[in-house]
Amino acid sequence: MAEPIARETPALTRKDFETDQEVRWCPGCGDYSVLANVQRVMPELGVRREDFVFVSGIGCSSRFPYYMNTYGFHTIHGRAPAFATGIKLARPELSVWVVTGDGDGLSIGGNHLLHAIRRNVDLQILLFNNRIYGLTKGQYSPTSRLGMKNKSIPMGVIDHPIDPLAFALGAGATFVARTVDVDAAGLQEVLRRAHAHQGTAFVEILQNCPVYNDGEWAAIEDKRTRVEAGLPLEHGKPLVFGAKGQRRGIRFEHGVPHLIELADDADPIAAGVTVHDERVERPAYAFALASLTPPAFPTPIGVLRAVERPSYERLLDQQIATAVEQRGAGDLRALLQSGDTWTVE
């Protein structure tokens, strides 16, 4: 758990996490749904409201803390993971959440995101991916698809996009998940899992920008098509997707994915479908999962990876405890008088 100190938590409701500030995202923005679901999950986490801190950078998603009735810090572009690291190292008992976007987190803030993840600071990092810059009115982001035409490159994007999950895995993430803005149940479950994880929990949230990149995730957001477009991940269960009559599975051979047609009564495991194991220590399997992209493959949704590694703030506190144990608590007088001194009469 993210909460080393067990505290009695009063019964809270979603209302307790709403602020008096008017929410100022565009009508139809995916952020509304994420906000509502975060507010729904907060009371279930066993954390007192005053022990939550929401930290953000700059961008549409980064307005998030203003709408959460917790402690919150709306910082500077891309640097939220660094601010959050400082907060968590200073006060490990706090539950610290980072809200960022594809531009904030992967462009200007790529360096900070990388280092927060590889240190495994116990943060929940929610990266809202809408594949566009919204607040600056529609420039392409580091996740925008090749060829996408927009204001800052009317002839189409020529920058190869980065995949947030592959980035996090490359940085050595211990927890990596993907969820969808409008999928309330799935989103809530991933948030609960992220909070329970000890270390950096990296969550990509596929989020629609109705103004500058509408429909980017339509296939996976629409319940009618999600069955075909999404690959639900469940630990210990085979990688199966599709509606009745169109069921298919995925088998990885040497990291290469293959689609397997499944009859309705077929046993997927017997048919060779790979069983999802989020606890595989080596990241290659999670990378292979992250590499599944449409149109050839469904989009994996859920927890790709959840492994254990000591979190940074705990290691730091252990060093302090060890130092105190070995040398006693710091004594200022002894420090100032250490080494060679002399007395002038």
Among 93, 159, 222, 267, binds other proteins (CB under 8 A): 93
| 265 scored as a contact of other proteins (CB under 8 A) | no
- Would you give the binding string for other proteins spanning residues 279-318, x where CB under 8 A is met? -------------------------------------x--
Q: DSSP secondary structure string, 157-192?
A: --SPP--HHHHHHHTT-SEEEEEETT-HHHHHHHHH
Instruction: Report d(CA 111, CA 101) in Å as an integer.
Output: 14
Q: Which of 62-70, 141-149, 168-176, 188-196 is the region at the interface with other proteins (rule: CB under 8 A)? A: 62-70
What sign has the CA pseudo-torsion 37, 40, 44, 46? Answer: positive
Q: Which is nearer to other proteins, 184 or 316 (CB)?
A: 316
Using DSSP's 3-state secondary structure scheme, residue 248 falls into strand
Nearest to 189 by CA among 279, 306, 87: 306
Q: Which 2-61 positions form the footprint of other proteins (CB under 8 A)?
A: 19, 21, 48-56, 58
Q: Please identify, using beta-carbon distances, which residue of 4 and 255 lies nearer to other proteins.
A: 4
CA distance 75 to 59: 11
209 vs 121: CA distance, rounded Å: 30
- Cα Rg of the chain (Å, integer): 23
Choice from 2, 42, 60, 94 touching other proteins (CB under 8 A): 94
3-state DSSP assignment of residue 245: coil
84 binds other proteins (CB under 8 A): yes
Provide the minimum distance between the beta carbon of 205 and other proteins in the complex, in angstroms, as a whole number.
21
Cα–Cα distance measured from residue 13 to residue 38, given in angstroms and rounded to the nearest whole number: 12
Q: How many CA atoms lie within 13 A of 59 on its CB side?
A: 33
- Number of residues located near other proteins, criterion CB under 8 A: 62
Judged by CB under 8 A, the residue of 25, 83, 133, 167 near other proteins is 83
CA proximity to 74, closest of 51, 48, 100? 100
Interface with other proteins includes 86 (CB under 8 A)?
yes
- Does the footprint of other proteins cover residue 328 (CB under 8 A)? yes
Question: Does residue number 72 form part of the binding site for other proteins (CB under 8 A)?
Answer: yes
Phi, psi of 81 (to 5 degrees): -60, -30
* Separation of alpha carbons 21 and 69, rounded Å: 10
With CB under 8 A as the contact rule, the residue among 33, 85, 120, 207 that binds other proteins is 85
Token reading at 336 = 């100032």
In the complex with other proteins, the residue whose CB is nearer, 55 or 157, is 55
Neighbours of 104 (CB within 10 A): 32
Compute the distance between CA of residue 130 and CA of residue 28 in angstroms, rounded to an integer.
13
Does residue 74 belong to the site contacting other proteins (CB under 8 A)?
yes
Indicate whether 152 belongs to the interface with other proteins (CB under 8 A). no
Report if residue 340 touches other proteins, rule: CB under 8 A: yes
345 binding other proteins? (CB under 8 A): yes
Of positions 9, 18, 66, 271, contacts other proteins by CB under 8 A: 66
* 111 interacts with other proteins by CB under 8 A: yes
Interaction site with other proteins (CB under 8 A) = 19, 21, 48-56, 58, 65-66, 68-76, 79, 82-87, 89-91, 93-94, 111-112, 114-115, 316, 319-320, 322-324, 326-330, 332-333, 335-337, 339-345
